[in-house]
Structure 1
Amino acid sequence: MRTILVVGGGYAGFYTAWKLEKKLKKDEARVVLVDPRPYMTYQPFLPEVLAGSVEARHAAVSQRRHLHRTRIISGAVVSVDHARKTATIRPSEGDEFALAYDIIAVTAGAVTRQLGVPGVADEAIGMKHVEEAVAIRDRLLTGFDRAATLEPGPERQKLLTATFVGGGFSGVEGFGELLSLATALCKPYPEIKKSEIAFHLVEARDRILPEVTDEPGRWVVRSLEKRGAHVHLNATVVSAVDGHVVLSDGTEFDSDLIVWTVGNAATSMVRNHTDLPVNERGMLVVRADLRVGTEADPVADAWGAGDDAAVPDLAVPGTWTVPNAQHAVRQGKLLASNIVASIRGREPKQYKHHSLGTVATLGLGRGIFQYKRIVIKGLPAWLMHRGYHVLAVPTWERKVRVLAIWLAAVVFGRDIVSLASVQDPRRAFVTGGENR
């Protein structure tokens, strides 16, 4: 029986394995999925995890709960020798081992680019995983707790200052949601004035949200600034050592919370440790039907999709599909269908997806939507964002859980409890319950 190896359990990998289970006959092939995390992160919900509008576990979809016929290996694929159809796997526990396969689907996703800025590796938090979103939220809430006990001054101001680096969708949505939460915290924290809260959004280009056109992008900037935010365009972070942020335009300030969302880079395995073809950016070269290789030179039994693959965008000839959830989910579904088709001797289909529009949350009750020339702003766009994503999150179990949290928040508001202590769970035990 054939072995299909799925590398990575993110959007594309999870949907590939999930759909393969439904399409394959029991004796047709076995599926093996390798990923260091036991869940798929639904990343569009991470900004709402920051704001407490979605419970952290509800933004994650358990692999073992939904993949019943797939062998799941907790670990990472560190190299692929496709000429020998062998992958080297580093498990979470134990020694590395080789795994033979017949067909490989590379859906390893991408990693956050750090750019080597001094202090970033020590001070910043990314925003690609649930754990990071929880840490950002807890850092803000703990900062408010600490600032409420201090007199006005540099230390208090640093605790009330948050910085997001990167003005793409991830950065802007996270920034808007966390700003909404911080503003709402002024009511339960009467010691802190709204004017003391400082939120900085730093973007190297002359605009934010490149997925929308210029005027809606400028409207988002005006909307954020009206809420008290500082948007720094055409600026980069030069240093962030010890939380002291220095920008290329000369601006300097101290920030207790720095969130790094400057874009993606291909994983080290795809860039450097495989004999599969990659382009100059280290991304897997794939055809429109998701086979690895080119039209003239396809690679047999190798497939790729998601953020680590340069998938031709047939809707916009001459370009590649952007690395977002909308494409990764659809590519994962098609990838499963095409693998099954190839096993059964049929021709695979090409991936072509016309955008359904762009929608983003900017905080509770605020959003923006654009489809071609149609632009919707404010509450209607925010409701469209929530409606789309509660339908898009995989499995009915997750849809119901998320919807229940949203309905409860309408009545009781967002939860503002910080659980930062979970990052050091033994402290209370070691200190006998004392705060030290």
Structure 2
Amino acid sequence: MSAETGARGRERVARAALSRLMEPSDWVGLALVAAAGPQDALRIATGVLAAGRRLQEDLAGLLGRRPENEPGRMLAEALERWAPRVKDLAPERDLATIARFGGTLVVPGDGLWPAALADLQLGAPLCLWVRGRAGDGIPLQEQAVALVGSRDSTGFGNAVTADLATGLVQRGCHVVSGGAYGIDAQAHRSALAAAGEGQGPATLAVMACGLDRYYPAGNEELLRAVAARGLLIAEVPLGSAPTRWRFLQRNRRIAALAGATVVVEARWRSGALNTAHHAAELGRPVGAVPGSVYSANSAGTHRLLRDGSAVCVTGAAGAAELAGPVDAARQDGAGRQEPPADHDGLGVEELLLLDALPVRQGVPVEKLAVVAGLPVQRVLAGLGRLELGALAVQDATGWRRGPRR
């Protein structure tokens, strides 16, 4: 084993241990890792190594605190908070277990590590536990759209989500959601149904618990399908239970991994709005689907639209545009660019002439003038423009439609 491989291996073990020791977005813990590095941070967090005055001042600076105001107090409180978990640390076992599940641990510096997470700055995850088609890579930010919404979704919300997810996958995008009931489940289900063989992970489920359990239990079959054909991603190690805090922190990862977040349905106070707010804070575009003014499940989306926090999204094309430029070759969702219609770019007189032109047998200019209701001079000028566009041709019998139709 080379020194580089050994160093990377030790960092991987340290980050695996830290992810069990610290809750997601434990700011003191994240600052400690940023200041001391993951291996020394683990030694300090487990009491093996003492933190010096300089490190404590660095922590205070990273956290926006003044160093002269008890720089060691925050760390002392954190050490007390972490102490009960130290005895349960077994990172090598955790790494072996995720491997048995067909998964892996992804850490900063790995080729699979999503560059988009850098936008979270100090709040970026220590590591990502991943199951599924990790060999295909975690999709780039501009190729992923988050679809989120109410757990108690309506028939309208489910139908819109199905259309959005299907259209996004057909356009080469990946659908990100949280694996929950309602809109999340519909987004994953429709993305899987629309994905073809060899397309890569069509959908990513960002989980709030360890990847050895499928939560919620009612979505077990769906989440197993995502693990087989997409990706399951968690910030916490195997064996971790879902908690309210972990759900809230999960939302920031959904927002960070996607180039845009679209809220399909949300009540006035909804977890989906939390995801939208994270996306806005990261500078990511936010979309919202308008619904019935009588539906409580659309009160949150209407609130986003009213406040100017989101743009109106009514279809997959609009959702894909929010995330980033879409390859023109995928605009029609089937790998082919949709051909322009004959009438694209034509003025009123050209349209009148185009409708008047016969398909097979040519006619003289005078007859076209009668059918189109235009003066002969205008007909001649219009025919010239249509001829340049291959929409009109002249032969011995007169003028007729061109080959472009």
| Alignment TM-score > 0.5, same fold | no
Whichever structure has more strand as a proportion of its residues is 1
**TM norm structure 2:** 0.26
Q: Which has the higher helix share?
A: 2
TM-score w.r.t. the length of structure 1 is 0.25
Task: Decide which structure has the larger Cα Rg and report it.
Answer: 2
